[in-house]
Structure 1
């Protein structure tokens, strides 16, 4: 009897290992084989294993403005060489989303999108799109909601996907001590929980430039007298503060993920010749300045990191380029954003087909 159980366990391990190597489209067909395989493929532990398998390479995802359709679209690059051949384009109009939704980030192959009243979770690999109808916060009379920011990630304790949205409201937009209401969406329960959060006096919080979820926390940046990093704990559903890097003169910055760490990109956006300082949070409250990129001419803003010291940039003409910090070479993707946009009109993300 013991031998049979051991054989059964080994057989199950072999099945899981084989399935974890298959592409997503094959897995979607195999769900119909039997109830056991369907349950296994939808299991969060299997999804995580499949996502982290060495055969699941990183792809580039770019949101940009398409002048031929006059709409924002997604371009998914098919391989790590990020060549323009066989690029998949997805028009957001097909999903009845606004022309320019914000992006919460990408996690386990799911792309989080948001606008003023809605949040959507989209998995391009299996063509699933789920719209979350965000609850309206109840604010006192004569108060106004001036701003909101959102995040998307995984509760590592329960392996449950969660979305958080935080509204700031008050009687005057110039106030620093906003009242803040948070709503957390639990995907398994398909429900929202609303509660107040006390963050003290802060300047307006920046929606992250790219995905800034890491190890059970979602991060945003804000500045008041000093830079602060806000961290939302996906498990405990509480917010905390982390001091930012010791910048002598703060002008403008964005936080991104870089080599599995939170990093701050800092620059003076008024200068024609730009220098970009990269600060990395090695551990909580400890920052190191990793390097400075530049001087670079004709660049509007950085967009995030790729691989091997490469940085995505948007030019003053709203073109996407990839800059190699080691060779100082630039690659032009022939992808354009909206030239009339006040800030960046291109967003880049690393995407894996979970």
Structure 2
């Protein structure tokens, strides 16, 4: 029915339908819709909406690539993320999104390295040995306060990791400090809490020291699963691998014995359980899963086929994640601008599909500038979008 100009017979959608529609939109679109109205802004920035969006993000993992860009005195981080496609088409090239973190004052992003990523929040180690928390989705970076333990000696080296306490809905930072001259020397541990305010004003609690004089040397990536932070380590040069387990809620740290006669290469979240990608003395690769953390019971769920082991070594593949359909994801770096993902089906014991990731046009523009210093930093297949504001 036609109406006169100025009349509006359109019926507005119920609020619950509007919220349902908004939760299914990409993060970048949501940030634009914040300006639509005060009501939409209030919805999108509410804690309940952020939690609903995060629940959906778990089902939409992304492939994330990070670069450090230096142009004169200005430095910034450049992230590219792409959906992990379930398609069988081997020629598929995913749509790539850019998350450009501009120059952030005195924060230097040169020689920046990932520590780990949890719920879309990334811990980064900087050139000057400081650390920051970063959310590529919201393009925010905040500095982590220095752990006083690292300054007790001029030769101390520090690592930091981000963990998430599921019971109290809190992010915490674990700091480990050891003497640079003692590779397997005593490690001092401290923890602080990242408190995210309702108005976006985040702050850190004071550092709390605990678990002193534990001897080990970190050997693998860090991973946070169900409120527990894990990373591989060794007590001394020829010892068996151990896994450092830090319960983020109770702030208790344990050293778990790992696997006999196999060396840890990388930790992976396999269907919500800790798993270890390992190699034995015969250069055979396998995947172990932690069935019972309290009793430290492990089971071998896969021995990779000899043909894939040869492919892994020849193409210099890197394991970077797992799917809910019993597939392990490996990545091959073709160039700075293109990657290929290999999906290894654990049930069929073969490569089920190969997915091309390319089209990093924005990076290509930066790369052509001879005055820019560009450094590829890290790759993750377990990134998720998180719209929480730091």
Q: Please indicate the TM-score interval, normalised by the length of the shorter structure.
A: 0.7 to 0.9
Contact 2:113–2:378 under 8 Å retained in 1: no
In the alignment, which residue of structure 2 is the partner of 1:324?
344
Query: Alignment partner for residue 152 of structure 1, among 162, 175, 197?
Result: 162
Q: What's the TM-score once normalised by structure 2's chain length?
A: 0.67
Partner of 2:363: none
- Is residue 60–residue 83 contact of structure 2 (8 Å, CA) maintained in 1? no
Q: 1:5-40 CA distances to partner (integer Å, 9 max, x unpaired)? A: xxxxxx665554343233323432443456565444
Contact kept? 2:78, 2:99, Cα under 8 Å: yes
Aligned to 2:381: 349
Query: How far apart in 2 are the matches of 1:232 and 1:323?
Result: 30
Q: Which residue of 1 aligns with 2:82?
A: 77
CA 323–38 in structure 1, closer or farther in 2 if over 3 Å, else same: closer
Distance change >3 Å, CA 93–CA 244, structure 1 → 2 = farther
Using the TM superposition, give the Cα deviation of residue 313 of structure 1 relative to its aligned residue in structure 2, in angstroms.
4.1
The alignment partner of 2:304 has SS state of strand
Higher relative contact order (CA 8 A, sep 6+): 2
Determine if the alignment matches structure 1 residue 251 to structure 2 residue 263: yes
How many residue pairs match? The answer is 322
Partner of 2:364: none
- The equivalent of 2:231 in structure 1 is 220
User: C-alpha displacement at 1:218, in angstroms?
Assistant: 1.6
What runs of 5+ residues in structure 2 fail to find an aligned partner?
1-13, 70-75, 361-375
Structure whose CA Rg is larger? 2
Q: Deviations over 1:280-303 (max 9, x none)?
A: 112211211111114323144532
2:66 and 2:78 in contact (8 A); partners too:
yes
- The change in CA–CA distance for 1:23 and 1:260 in structure 2 (over 3 A counts) is same
Query: Are 1:42 and 2:45 matched, yes or no?
Result: yes
Alpha-carbon distance, 1:122 to partner: 1.9
Aligned counterpart for 2:279 among listed residues 249, 258, 267? 267
Cα distance between partner residues in 2 of 1:267 and 1:23: 39
In structure 2, do the counterparts of structure 1 residues 220 and 39 end up closer, same or farther at CA, with 3 Å as the change threshold?
Answer: farther
Which stretches in structure 1 are left out of the alignment for 5+ residues? Answer: 1-10, 337-343
Offset of residue 251 of structure 1: 3.4
Structure 1 residues 317 and 275: CA distance shift in structure 2, 3 A = farther
Counterpart position of 2:72: none
TM-score by length of 1: 0.73
How far did residue 263 of structure 1 move? Answer: 0.8
Q: Does 1:137 align with 2:155?
A: no
- The yes-or-no answer on 1:21 pairing with 2:27 is no
CA distance in 2, matches of 1:104, 1:98: 14
Distance 2:34 2:27 in 1: 11
Structure 1 residues 166 and 159 mapped into 2: Cα distance closer, same or farther (>3 Å)? same
Could you say which residue in structure 2 is the equivalent of 1:231? 245
The question of whether the paired residues in 2 share the 8 Å contact of 1:162 and 1:234 is answered with: yes
- Once the two structures are TM-superposed, the CA of residue 329 in structure 1 deviates from its matched residue by 5.8
- Contact 1:92–1:98 (8 Å) recurs in 2: no
Cα deviation code 1:253-292 (max 9, x no counterpart): 2212112111111125x97xx4221111122112111111
Secondary structure at the counterpart of residue 20 of structure 2: helix
Two-structure CA RMSD over aligned residues (Å): 3.9
CA separation of 1:156 and 1:315: change in aligned 2, threshold 3 A: closer
Report the Cα distance in structure 1 between the residues aligned to 2:108 and 2:226, rounded to whole angstroms.
29
Counterpart Cα distance in 2 of 1:324 and 1:202: 36
Hey, what's the Cα distance between the residues in 2 that align with 1:55 and 1:332? Answer: 20
Structure 1 CA distance for aligned equivalents of residues 82 and 334 of structure 2? 24
- Could you tell me which of 64, 69, 92 is aligned with 1:61? 64
